[in-house]
Amino acid sequence: MRPLQDTESTTSGPDRRVKGAPRVTANPLSGVHESALPVAPSRGRLRPLGIGEVRITGGFWGERQRTNAAATLEHCLRWMHHVGWIDNFRAAVEGRLPRDRRGREFSDSDVYKLIEAMAWEHGRTGDPGPDAAIRELTAIIAPVQEDDGYLNTAFGRPGQPGRYSDLEWGHELYCYGHLIQAGVARARTAGADDVFVTIARRAADHVCDVFGPDGLDGVCGHPEIEMALVELARYTGEQRYLDQAVAFVERRGHGTLADIEFGRTYYQDDVPVREADVFRGHAVRALYLASGAVDVAVESRDDDLLDAVVRQWEATVARRTYITGGMGSQHMDEAFGDDFVLPPDRAYSETCAGVASVMLSWRLLLATGEPRFADLAERTLYNVVAASPAADGRSFFYANTLHQRRRGAVPAADTDSPRAASSMRAPWFAVSCCPPNVARTLAGLATYLVTAGPSGLQIHQYADAVVSTHLDDGAPVGFETTTGYPHDGVVTVRITEAPGTPWTLSLRVPAWATRGGVLVEPDGRRRPVEPGTADVHRRFAVGEVVRLELPTSPRWVAADPRIDAVRGTAAVERGPLVMCVESPDLPAGHEVDDVRVDAASAPADADGTVTVAGSYEQVGDASWPYQSPASSSGTRTPARIPLVPYFTWAERGPSTMRVWLPTLTPEGGPADEHT
Amino acid sequence: MRPLQDTESTTSGPDRRVKGAPRVTANPLSGVHESALPVAPSRGRLRPLGIGEVRITGGFWGERQRTNAAATLEHCLRWMHHVGWIDNFRAAVEGRLPRDRRGREFSDSDVYKLIEAMAWEHGRTGDPGPDAAIRELTAIIAPVQEDDGYLNTAFGRPGQPGRYSDLEWGHELYCYGHLIQAGVARARTAGADDVFVTIARRAADHVCDVFGPDGLDGVCGHPEIEMALVELARYTGEQRYLDQAVAFVERRGHGTLADIEFGRTYYQDDVPVREADVFRGHAVRALYLASGAVDVAVESRDDDLLDAVVRQWEATVARRTYITGGMGSQHMDEAFGDDFVLPPDRAYSETCAGVASVMLSWRLLLATGEPRFADLAERTLYNVVAASPAADGRSFFYANTLHQRRRGAVPAADTDSPRAASSMRAPWFAVSCCPPNVARTLAGLATYLVTAGPSGLQIHQYADAVVSTHLDDGAPVGFETTTGYPHDGVVTVRITEAPGTPWTLSLRVPAWATRGGVLVEPDGRRRPVEPGTADVHRRFAVGEVVRLELPTSPRWVAADPRIDAVRGTAAVERGPLVMCVESPDLPAGHEVDDVRVDAASAPADADGTVTVAGSYEQVGDASWPYQSPASSSGTRTPARIPLVPYFTWAERGPSTMRVWLPTLTPEGGPADEHT
């Protein structure tokens, strides 16, 4: 295990910062400087830019950031008060626990995730509102922390289970993980002296005291502490936090947690991280653990561990991931299913797993520079993270189905909903980890767009944005991106600051852009581009424009035949968007399950409205559904079938929806009939 | 609510017994008389025959009854000792509870189910072994019963939760239900004076005291008490037990049980029984409740309630039942899924649900006389109940998958297994309700074969059997059935006792026998028969033979296209058997997931070996499994694909298996490819 590098010093291997280069880039709205970002590895192929260096200014993600700021943060705060999770802290101080405690044993963590979201929001815009809210919450939380740094409203008091008496399910270290991530966010946006930062550091010191080499040889049933400790190590330069993260990763997989009915696989205690072949068990746990393992591998220079996570990522993406990028196909244990078991109707695809997948893919991108990680992040951002919140930012999907067969009931506006009731978005859940996860991801989203490397700058995600940073030699550089993405495939990059020396602007060409992608150089020359990256290397001048034109005409997609659940169906994608059929767009009397499509005929796109050739087919009822193949009956009505982006579904009242659509055989009959 | 009828008296409506007719039929092995049977309604279209009147003498079911007797009963008893469920009763008496208690809160019930199985076995053969085992267990159980009749090892003592403090999950009434069913079985096979019968009656009286009109207005989270109380009412003639069963059925569905994350649907407390449209929630709970509701409806002459259950049965069979007859498609809550959500790989199809489905279908058959209920019972008996136990009777499936993708590990021989680990049969489970359920069903199976009605006798299930009973007018009648069923479709019925008057012998022609069924009359005349019943009405002479010839050549089956999970596949049935492909029968290097079949070409059957035309196809791996439809790749090898009966799978070591097989389009390509 290698020592943590001072983030300012050069080391062997790619170095991203020259000693002594002044930090001059700051966010003009908030004044926070470039290091305000969630993940700041001390080494890797690419250097992420911080909130001080990149701002989203409009468009698809700009709108979502505004809604997040104007509605979602307040919504989460109001609900956390309403369901008592904030009062739990007051109750702790006032001696009213356990009597008055409300919520699950991990409810503290959702308050911390909201604080993290507020910290990024304050750093993003300088808005004093989130800053004041953090101070208010800090005042409520601080007195609950005990002298030794312990902090948890569910354990340790008379009438409560003892500290660390239930590592399997207690979530204590998980709560610290979110506390520490929020503390790092606050430190990077408001400075190290903030009281909340102190709380987080004291908790981290406590964790190292209790679980260090001379302490408890345990792990948490829910990974999260690992990546948090590494980030704190990066922020503070303190080796101790990295050592503790390494210990937690190395301890896992040896059966120290209890065997349970779901199996130790559930919390990835079946196999050591570096020996596993694929992500398995509870999806959020698996992905948070993998993220922490990448952080540990990067800081420890542990290529074997990094390779192991890459290998697991590859196997999971090839065999255990939904077309939306969603992960998790079992409701029973919110877990990955077996290879190729990916039922659309029973998709779990937890929003938090989507967030975690983006976090993991981001870390792998920074470490390796490989665009496939940004490809998956894009798919997941547009089809899971953007799908979860309603357009008004006040209700959410927890589980993200790909096939809604019947209209659900409208969730009550003032009561929390069961977590897997995914027919419509709900304002809150008994387990409400997803809304604050969406909030912190959206608030900090700008940091996922652009990186800097030895050769120049790399654009990974497309949005209306302003970038102002510097190259490795310290020379200032900047550009504005303008785009109608995801609906429009044209991305315009206009240089706003340029050094006199040549550098490389690299634009990701998504894997789905297999035909027709074009890059237009500043001199107007057009060249075709393939999936991967399109690079422009030149001595840029201010005002010059590079334009990427991606082919966003809708396209058919078929699944690997080993995914039995979608045999005989096809889906439509348009740019990065997965499309779906939803009942409000169908003629009266027709349901989504009546739809059949002709996947041999190209989809049409008229002014953004996508349709495909197909028919509506209604099947007669039978007393027993398994009959001789010749005995099907039904009526068929040819039609053009309208599709809409999946992320927009369930915004027009109770509806039915499906992504994977049964196909017609070339002769016109259903593929599953044999006469 | 109508009064319980004296089972000896005539009433309005069909009557099955003439006043004063002597009970002369007795089982020659055990001496138990005709009323030894699990379900003895006081009215209905058909009268079931008891262990005194029908005996299975060999063949498919005879073999299973012998194995059940020689191996399974002893296996269950040994395991119940091994895991401490019997010692729980001793521990109760010796003051060692809760400290020494082992097993789940409902483990008492599995001991009672084993006693019920032993009672039927003793009644079936007169074997003193089960009788002695019952006496031994009775001696252990009796002292645990408290003065007021309460009996449960998990509640009510210092350190244990209080009596009836957790109606949702405590299973106390559920345990009484199994105790009472076992008590009735013991009474009918060993007489009312048996000590175990007294224990059961005292418990029933206690239930009526505590939960009667002046008592607790509650229901049990797990239905079972309902049908047990009705059967006790039938046996004793006591109205009180029927009234209590009626109360439990009527109280249900009004939200008196707590709302839980699964929803009140889980334990059918969302909607009153008579208002529901379909079976939903936990499958065993739903089916036990429905069985109890039928029993209540029959004894109370409540046609509205009976119609409601029939309606629910119809909807469930049309939309929520697997091809095997299995019910339950969600692992998460062992529950029914939504209409048409029937994934083969994640089929739960709990063995206990199969047993419960047979119990329900039997009750509906007796009430209505309609062969469709015997059709479903046949399908479920051969493809769920017969599939669960291994051929040696010492291991079982709990969940019954229809698609095993990867080879599982061999379960440990001396440790219980998690309940849903269905890759191979396991000797025992932490929740081991299925093995004793199989045992009691097999021990009493003869009572499901033949009924008597006003016009004669009806054969519903085919086995080597001897029947000796009497017609409604008291005239003795008897026959022997001989058959190679299920492998052979010929059933021979030879008259052994005949009155001088004409009567009708009715044979069920299964729904799957759509073409080629033939009935051969005693005079040799052959006539075609259709699904339903084939009746022979004559003045039979001893020695005359009626023969039914059913077409058991293998046939293709396709699913309703609304069952998305099996789109693009077909299955094979042979007689009542569902067939499957299993990896030991495939050439080296080929897996069941490589199989493609040509459902346009008739299956072949050479001396019982079934094959279909098809191919093996191996798909290349890709980094992302969703691509343009034209981009499939793979190798295809034409072959004849061998199939075996589903109930035989997993007997040759770890294997893979599938029932629903991807089909080829008529042109020879897979139905899910479009080029």
* B259 compared with A33, residue with greater pLDDT: B259
Strands A503-509 and A456-459: parallel
Q: Which of A621, A627, A674 sits opposite B599 (nearest CB)?
A: A674
Q: What is the dihedral of CA B89, B92, B97, B100, to 10 degrees?
A: -40
Number of C-beta neighbours around residue B528 at 10 A: 11
Domain shared by A539 and A591, yes or no? no
Q: Which of A319, A556, A623 sits opposite B314 (nearest CB)?
A: A623
Interface-testing mutation among A322, A626, A631, A657, with chain B (most B C-beta atoms within 10 A): A626
pLDDT at B25: 60
Find the mean pLDDT for residues A634-643: 92
H or E, element range at A492: strand A490-497
Domain shared by A583 and A604, yes or no? yes
pLDDT at A631: 64
> Residue A168 domain-assigned?
yes
Domain shared by B468 and B510, yes or no? yes
Domain shared by A615 and A493, yes or no? no
Q: Which of A419, A430, A672 sits opposite B568 (nearest CB)?
A: A672
> Residue A558 domain-assigned?
no
Looking at B448, B463, B487, which one is the last position of a domain?
B448
Distance CA B663, CA B659 (A): 12
Which residues lie across from A610 on neighbouring strands?
A605, A643
Q: Which of B564, B626, B662 sits opposite A559 (nearest CB)?
A: B626
pLDDT at B632: 62
CA distances from B240 to A102, B206, B237 (A): 44, 12, 9
> Residue A26 domain-assigned?
no
pLDDT at B447: 96
Residue A72's closest CA among A129, A29, A123, A135? Answer: A129
Given a contact cutoff of 8 angstroms between Cβ atoms, the answer to whether B527 and B518 are in contact is: yes
For residue A589, what pLDDT band results from cuts at 50, 70 and 90? confident
Residue A487 has pLDDT above 90, yes or no: yes
pLDDT at B629: 87
CATH of the domain at B467: 2.60.40.1180
Distance CA A264, CA A250 (A): 16
Domain shared by A317 and A403, yes or no? yes
Residue A297's closest CA among A366, A378, A353? Answer: A366
pLDDT at A34: 66
> Residue A171 domain-assigned?
yes
H or E, element range at A352: helix A351-368
Looking at A418, A448, A478, which one is the last position of a domain?
A448
pLDDT at A20: 37
Looking at A484, A516, A549, which one is the last position of a domain?
A549
Which residues lie across from A618 on neighbouring strands?
A635
The verdict on a CB contact (< 8 Å) between A629 and B557 is yes
Domain shared by A270 and A339, yes or no? yes
> Residue B573 domain-assigned?
yes
The verdict on a CB contact (< 8 Å) between B672 and A558 is yes
Alpha-helical runs (H) found in A99-238: 107-125, 128-141, 172-190, 195-211, 225-236
**How much of chain A exceeds pLDDT 90, in percent?**
87
Distance CA A638, CA A629 (A): 23
Residue A654 is given by DSSP the state: S
| Residue A140 φ/ψ, nearest 5 degrees | -80, -35
Domain shared by A428 and A489, yes or no? no
DSSP per position, B207-253: HHHHHSTTS-----SS--HHHHHHHHHHHH--HHHHHHHHHHHHHTT
Domain shared by B516 and B464, yes or no? yes
Strands A657-658 and A577-582: antiparallel
User: Which residue in chain A is spatially nearest to B621 when comparing CA positions?
Assistant: A318
The verdict on a CB contact (< 8 Å) between A341 and B341 is no
| 3-state secondary structure (DSSP) of residue A362 | helix
Interface check for A412 against chain B (CB to CB < 8 A): the answer is no
The verdict on a CB contact (< 8 Å) between A569 and B567 is yes
pLDDT at A472: 86
CATH of the domain at B93: 1.50.10.20
Given a contact cutoff of 8 angstroms between Cβ atoms, the answer to whether B237 and B257 are in contact is: no
Domain shared by B434 and B406, yes or no? yes
pLDDT digits (tens, 9 = 90+) for A204-236: 999 999 999 999 999 999 999 999 999 999 999
pLDDT at B420: 73
The verdict on a CB contact (< 8 Å) between A619 and B560 is yes
The verdict on a CB contact (< 8 Å) between B674 and A570 is yes
This prediction has a pTM of 0.93
| Residue A309 C-alpha, separation from nearest chain B C-alpha, in angstroms | 15
Distance CA A378, CA A448 (A): 10
Residue A560's closest CA among B641, B347, B623? Answer: B623
pLDDT at A10: 31
User: Which residue in chain B is spatially nearest to A263 when comparing CA positions?
Assistant: B418
pLDDT at B392: 98
pLDDT at A667: 41
Residues 206-235 of A with CB under 8 A from B: none
The verdict on a CB contact (< 8 Å) between B563 and A624 is no
Question: Which value does ipTM take for this structure?
Answer: 0.92
> Residue A7 domain-assigned?
no
**Side chain identity at residue A463, one-letter code:** A
Given a contact cutoff of 8 angstroms between Cβ atoms, the answer to whether B226 and B289 are in contact is: yes
Strands (E), B389-444: 403-404
pLDDT digits (tens, 9 = 90+) for A8-25: 333 333 333 333 334 446
Domain shared by B218 and B330, yes or no? yes
Domain shared by A401 and A492, yes or no? no
Residues 343-372 of A with CB under 8 A from B: 343-346, 372
Interface check for B629 against chain A (CB to CB < 8 A): the answer is yes
Number of folded domains that form chain B: 3
Residue A542 has pLDDT above 90, yes or no: yes
Kindly give the parts of chain B with pLDDT less than 50.
1-24, 667-669, 671-675
Find the mean pLDDT for residues A132-136: 98
Residue A100's closest CA among A83, A121, A114, A117? Answer: A83
Structural domain range at position B132: 47-54+72-448
pLDDT at B438: 98
> Residue A39 domain-assigned?
no
Number of C-beta neighbours around residue A407 at 10 A: 16
Interface check for A569 against chain B (CB to CB < 8 A): the answer is yes
Interface check for B560 against chain A (CB to CB < 8 A): the answer is yes
pLDDT at B613: 97
**Side chain identity at residue B96, one-letter code:** R
> Residue A14 domain-assigned?
no
Domain shared by B429 and B464, yes or no? no
Interface-testing mutation among A312, A674, A675, with chain B (most B C-beta atoms within 10 A): A674
